[in-house]
Amino acid sequence: MATQQAIQVVLASRPATPRASLENFRVETVSMPVPSAGQVLVRIDTLSLDPYMRGRMNDSKSYAKPAEIGQPMPGESVATVLESSSPEFVPGDIVLVQAGWRSHAALDAKGLKKLAVEGFNASAYLGVLGMPGFTAWSGLEVIGKPKAGETLVVGAATGPVGSLVGQLAKHKGLRAVGIAGGEKKCAYLLDELGFDAAIDHRLPNFADELRSACPDGIDVYFENIGDAVWNAVVPLLNQYARVPVCGLMAQLSGKLSHDTSKDYLAQTMRAVLTRSLQIRGFINYEFTEQYFDAFIREVSALLREGKIKHIEDVTVGLENAPQAFLDMLDGRNFGKVLVQVSA
Amino acid sequence: MATQQAIQVVLASRPATPRASLENFRVETVSMPVPSAGQVLVRIDTLSLDPYMRGRMNDSKSYAKPAEIGQPMPGESVATVLESSSPEFVPGDIVLVQAGWRSHAALDAKGLKKLAVEGFNASAYLGVLGMPGFTAWSGLEVIGKPKAGETLVVGAATGPVGSLVGQLAKHKGLRAVGIAGGEKKCAYLLDELGFDAAIDHRLPNFADELRSACPDGIDVYFENIGDAVWNAVVPLLNQYARVPVCGLMAQLSGKLSHDTSKDYLAQTMRAVLTRSLQIRGFINYEFTEQYFDAFIREVSALLREGKIKHIEDVTVGLENAPQAFLDMLDGRNFGKVLVQVSA
């Protein structure tokens, strides 16, 4: 029958430039995986696409092993159990899995996490209640140490991380300023997410606009862009400002300006010294053991009470995942990027 | 009588370039200060020259008010009380004062700190037991969080801050690697201060030498140089490395390379992200209230037991302070720079 076939998207080649392209991926039809004893066969419902995956395409020292050529791209998904030889799962269970860019997978039961879906779509566990949400919460809380009355700036502010960072900051009494690409995203930040100001990083006078939006300077800058945005932020950072560094989208996209008109590294280090700044890179899982429960408690309550909104940008069909991924790296997504793998 | 005259060194003009020059200073003969009620007349014995003073010569936003044109340069000294109308001080007391580059000063008694000099030269309170010492101790302890078995690298390693950082690291069981300018300083680090390795930053293959000296990477980099040294350090920083940023001598000297052959800011930020680095600027007084007593306790004990050495580079005569100061910014000093103001 037709379900004996599965599809997957593999890494065909490593990008030769910072900018990845469609040729780096290959969509393959393979035979349906067969679970061995103790394993569970799942159907992937929704795959999460995240910027960190770009790093995995390189064969370089990073916080995670590179993806292998010819193997499925790594990724997290929400899935439905089809067959189970494990006493812990029955067909129909909704689970969180690390199965990569695939339509089906046979997985060890211990790697699966059953999801309690009460009042949420299961896909929330890929975004606001998942890795991006915890990245936002832990970077803000543990490194950003936000205090009421302070000013927070966050880039990629309609993205799954940035949108939660800004909304959490508002709930804690901070002034929240979002940076995003284009008028539509900026309007959304103001009208739907309650940000105090929203600046389009594509504006030629971006640095001036940012300065106007931060009359008392910046106390927490949640960094996920880098490059020209960072250079505009640095002069505005207040004494003892905190900078959780969560991502550098500008580097991932391969569109680095490398502006040599000024020694921007010297500007950065001088600001660090004279204003006692803290810059701290992090990966959410460094904080999982200590803080994940507190995160789920706080954010799921806010979500249930309707005090936090989340946006999903859904592409239909696993074969369209590579293009959706490249669009995300170019900032063309609007919200958490998901791929609907099965109807 | 001759003692009715005092001398002082004032800021004649602000440097137009990062590199200051002799013309920015003026030596003046003035009448002897006359203490008013409650004040104390002191004779400055030893003036401390420190890199932070270069920042005070600029009229720019920093952590301290700029020096004023026509007024004495700011600075800390060890002094002897000549006259006192305060019950707390009697002639002959040795005190620590903030009196600037002057031979004599009339000061409010509350600004003076009587020094208990037991087994030290009073000048130790300007170096290893003073502001430079506390800068070393607090940056290392509070931000660097050194652990036995780790590797520490420190620049300007024969300087008053760097030499203590390295020696404290050795006492805590770390591998200590010092960076200094010239063979003589490097030999001193190895032979006298017990560093595990010493690298001359003037070597053309400096980056390779540094890499060889850090076979297990770098866990704590105590930054007080910046520029090309920083660019060589970044690739060697381990995951979760800590970087207390205490100074940027390369910027003070006005000899920034602004090497545009590579996007070094992008290199720095990528390292911060992928290796979860912490970079934290600081000024020692942020930590004074909480930690100063612990510092004095620990370091004075090490000093008494002969477990820590300190080096003094003494220039005789206040009129020679400007040249000694400029030499220090060029790295031509060897140890804590002091000016012997009175015999």
Which residues of chain A lie closer than 8 angstroms to B268, CB-CB? 265, 268
**Which DSSP category does A143 fall into?**
I
User: What's the gap between Cα B193 and its chain centre?
Assistant: 18
For the cut 60, the answer to whether the pLDDT of residue B2 exceeds it is no
The whole-number average pLDDT for the span B67-77 is: 96
Which residues of chain A lie closer than 8 angstroms to B260, CB-CB? 258, 260
User: Which residue bears the tokens 């000063």?
Assistant: B105
The H-or-E segment that residue B321 falls in is helix B321-329
* Interface contact flag, B265 A260, Cβ < 8 Å: no
Closest Cα of chain A to B32: distance in Å?
A: 36
pLDDT tens-digit readout, B77-88? 999 999 999 999
pLDDT given at position A121: 83
For residue A212, give every residue at least 6 positions away whose Cβ sits within 8 Å of its Cβ, in sequence order, or none.
none
φ/ψ (deg, to 5) at A318: -60, -30
Question: A112-148 burial, b for 16+ CB within 10 Å, e for fewer?
Answer: beebeeeebebbbbbbbbbbbbbbbbbbbbbbbebee
pLDDT given at position A254: 62
The CA-based angle B221-B226-B228, given to 5 degrees, is 105
CA distances for A58 relative to A20, A68, A246, A282, B54, angstroms: 10, 9, 19, 19, 44
Q: Spell out the domains of chain B, with CATH numbers in brackets.
A: 2-126+313-340 (3.90.180.10), 131-284 (3.40.50.720)
Treating both helix axes as pointing N-terminal to C-terminal, what angle do B131-138 and B288-304 enclose, rounded to 10 degrees?
A: 100
ipTM over 0.90: no
For the cut 70, the answer to whether the pLDDT of residue A293 exceeds it is yes
The whole-number average pLDDT for the span A140-151 is: 98
- B322: tokens are 């400007």
Which of A16-20, A188-192, A217-221 has the least mean pLDDT? A16-20
**Which DSSP category does A115 fall into?**
-
**Which DSSP category does B57 fall into?**
T
Question: B290-303 burial, b for 16+ CB within 10 Å, e for fewer?
Answer: ebeeebbebbbebb
Asked whether B96 and B75 are in contact (CB, 8 A), the reply is no
Kindly report the average pLDDT of chain B as a whole number.
Answer: 92
Which residues of chain A lie closer than 8 angstroms to B265, CB-CB? 230, 264-265, 268
Residue B27's identity, in one-letter code, is: V
pLDDT given at position A151: 98
Kindly report the average pLDDT of chain A as a whole number.
Answer: 92
Asked whether B2 and B307 are in contact (CB, 8 A), the reply is no
Asked whether B299 and B309 are in contact (CB, 8 A), the reply is no
pLDDT band at B62 (very low <50, low <70, confident <90, very high): low
pTM of the model: 0.85
For the cut 80, the answer to whether the pLDDT of residue B250 exceeds it is no
Alpha-carbon torsion B136, B139, B142, B144, what sign?
negative
pLDDT given at position A222: 98
- Report which listed range, A247-261, B46-60, B117-131, is most confident: B46-60
Closest Cα of chain A to B206: distance in Å?
A: 20
pLDDT tens-digit readout, A213-231? 999 999 999 999 888 899 9
Asked whether A96 and A115 are in contact (CB, 8 A), the reply is yes
* Pure H helices in B214-306: 227-233, 249-252, 264-274, 288-304
For the cut 80, the answer to whether the pLDDT of residue B209 exceeds it is yes
- As separate numbers, helices (DSSP H) first and strands (DSSP E) second, chain B gives 10, 15
In the stretch 34-63 of chain B, residues with CB closer than 8 A to chain A read 55, 61-63
In the stretch 202-231 of chain B, residues with CB closer than 8 A to chain A read 223, 226-227, 230
The pairing of beta strand B104-108 with beta strand B278-281: unpaired
Which residues of chain A lie closer than 8 angstroms to B263, CB-CB? 256, 258
Which of A77-81, A179-183, B153-157, B301-305 has the least mean pLDDT? B301-305
pLDDT given at position B1: 44
Residue A202, Cβ density class (10 Å: 0-12 exposed, 13-18 middle, ≥19 buried): exposed
Residue B171, Cβ density class (10 Å: 0-12 exposed, 13-18 middle, ≥19 buried): middle
For the cut 50, the answer to whether the pLDDT of residue A1 exceeds it is no
* Interface contact flag, B281 A282, Cβ < 8 Å: no
